Structure 1
Amino acid sequence: MRPQIVLFGDSITQQSFSSGGWGAALADTFSRKADVLVRGYGGYNTRWALFLLHPIFPLDATTPPLAVTIFFGANDAALSGRTSERQHVPIEEYKENLRKIVHHIKECSNKVLVVLITPPPIDEDGRFKYARSLYGEKAMKLPERTNETTGFYAKQCIELAEELGLPSINLWSKMQETDGWQKKFLNDGLHLTPEGNAVVHQEVTRVFSESGLSPSEMQLDFPHHSNIDPEAPEKAFEIRCN
């Protein structure tokens, strides 16, 4: 049975197996070495994610995941009093909810590699244009998310990773290092373009490798075809199947 890598997050994770998605690319990177499972829930914040922990990560599981990415914050950072306020989670609670998620996963097995990922930056103009395309003149007049506020949430995510000694990916900062990131990496001011997905895939793969989970060093689930003797194929499978 292949080890499992679980991607846990909101819509940015849910969409990660779409064409050009970072989850699909990760599954290709770990092909025949680990199964990549998407557990992404569009619109969810960390408060609602807590209700998913026991069903997704049961404490009595015989085989816990090899690694888990935790990728929340884009919805928690929605502004109170604006159109997406039902998703808003106060920043202090956001950090504590992340802590609870990590604690539960580590309770399943302390050997699980847990990687925290910050929300991506917000292109406020892109969000406004997207809303106008859907609702016309009825669209929001004030931004329901701002890049500055999302940055505060990203900072809390990174601080928690440092407190817990976990690897992390500061996607909010990383993407803004590139000129024109707003349209290059985001297709509606929030969700990822193929180029944005490529950044996430690259960063996750890098952090995994730096944490001792390099796909090049992992064993294939079954022998490569070049190692199978056509005259005595059973020999290639003796160790693996016994």
Structure 2
Amino acid sequence: MRPQIILFGDSITELSFKYGGWGASLTDTYSRKADILVRGYGGYTTRWALFLLHHIFPLSSTTPPVATTVFFGANDAALPGRTSERQHVPLEEYKENLRKIVRHLKECSPTMLIVLITPPPIDEEGQQQYAISVHGEKAPERTNEVTGNYANGCVEVAKELGVSSVNLWSKMQATQGWQKKYISDGLHLTPDGNNVVYEEVVKAFTGAWLSANEMPADFPHHMEIDPQNPAKAFQERCLISTFTKKDM
């Protein structure tokens, strides 16, 4: 079986398989090397994500994923007293929820590569326009300053627990004009924004031990197959047992 990589998060993960999405790009990079599974849930917070852990990452699994990205925080950082107040998770609870997620993943597989991804920065002007168009109000539901606190908290937890992290909040703001280049509606990502996530995740994977270039393909390359003796290439990969005599 190909190893599995699970992308676990909110809508930014759920949308990652759309055209230009970071999940789709990962699938292309790890083609024939690993299966990329998307487990993204729009609107979810770390509080609600805890209820999914045993379903997505059962401790009884004999084939846990080799790597998991954990990408929450954009909804946790919703402001109290605004339309999205139901999604608000206090910062300290958010950090503790991340700890619980990481501990569960480590219990699921001590060798699993875990990458925490911070929420991206908030384009406050775009958030305000979105709030007006959807809710008829001018108050944005998130601010960049508050979201930055959650991003810092995410990085702190990663360091504390000895796992990798990607600080999108800081990375994206290093580019001039990031608001329109990377953020589409004040919160979600443009294709360029998706590309930043993709590049940073690949960097984290490669910097650990999960380089696509160094992983073996699941079956022989077609140029390795001798048309006069095709079984040889599969025998060398110990795959011949998966074929019947009729198949050969």
TM-score > 0.5 by shorter chain: yes
What SS class does the counterpart of residue 240 from structure 1 fall into?
coil
> Is the 8 Å Cα contact of residues 119 and 172 (structure 1) preserved in structure 2?
yes
Opposite residue 240 of structure 1, the aligned amino acid is C
Alpha-carbon distance in structure 2 between the residues aligned to 1:96 and 1:188 = 29
Deviation at 1:143, TM superposition (A): 1.5
Q: Which residue of 2 aligns with 1:178?
A: 175
Q: Which residue of 1 aligns with 2:227?
A: 230
> Is the 8 Å Cα contact of residues 222 and 240 (structure 1) preserved in structure 2?
no
Q: Percent identity?
A: 69
Alpha-carbon distance in structure 2 between the residues aligned to 1:127 and 1:145 = 7
Query: What stretches of structure 1 move > 6 A for 4+ residues in a row?
Result: none
Deviation at 1:127, TM superposition (A): 1.1
1:105 matches 2:105: yes
For residues 84-128 of structure 1, give each alpha carbon's deviation from its aligned partner in whole angstroms, at most 9, with x where no partner exists.
Answer: 100000000000000000001110110000000000000011011
Q: Which of 144, 148, 151 is the equivalent residue of 1:147? A: 144
> Is the 8 Å Cα contact of residues 17 and 23 (structure 1) preserved in structure 2?
yes
Deviation at 1:68, TM superposition (A): 0.1
User: Matched residue pairs, number?
Assistant: 239
Which residues of 2 match residues 1-242 of structure 1 at below 5 A?
Answer: 1-135=1-135, 139-238=136-235, 239-241=237-239, 242=241
What SS class does the counterpart of residue 115 from structure 1 fall into?
strand
> Is the 8 Å Cα contact of residues 131 and 140 (structure 2) preserved in structure 1?
no
Opposite residue 161 of structure 1, the aligned amino acid is A
Opposite residue 184 of structure 2, the aligned amino acid is N
Alpha-carbon distance in structure 2 between the residues aligned to 1:132 and 1:140 = 5
Opposite residue 230 of structure 1, the aligned amino acid is P
> Is the 8 Å Cα contact of residues 131 and 139 (structure 2) preserved in structure 1?
no
For residues 4-34 of structure 1, give each alpha carbon's deviation from its aligned partner in whole angstroms, at most 9, with x where no partner exists.
Answer: 0000000000000001000000000000000
Unaligned runs of 5+ in 1: none
What SS class does the counterpart of residue 213 from structure 2 fall into?
helix
Structure-1-length-normalised TM-score:
0.97
> Is the 8 Å Cα contact of residues 131 and 141 (structure 2) preserved in structure 1?
no
Deviation at 1:47, TM superposition (A): 0.2
Deviation at 1:134, TM superposition (A): 3.4
Unaligned runs of 5+ in 2: 242-248
Structure-2-length-normalised TM-score:
0.95
> Is the 8 Å Cα contact of residues 47 and 97 (structure 1) preserved in structure 2?
yes
For residues 151-202 of structure 1, give each alpha carbon's deviation from its aligned partner in whole angstroms, at most 9, with x where no partner exists.
Answer: 0000000001111111100000000000000000011010000000000000
Alpha-carbon distance in structure 1 between the residues aligned to 2:180 and 2:93 = 31
What SS class does the counterpart of residue 83 from structure 1 fall into?
coil
CA-atom RMSD in angstroms: 0.8
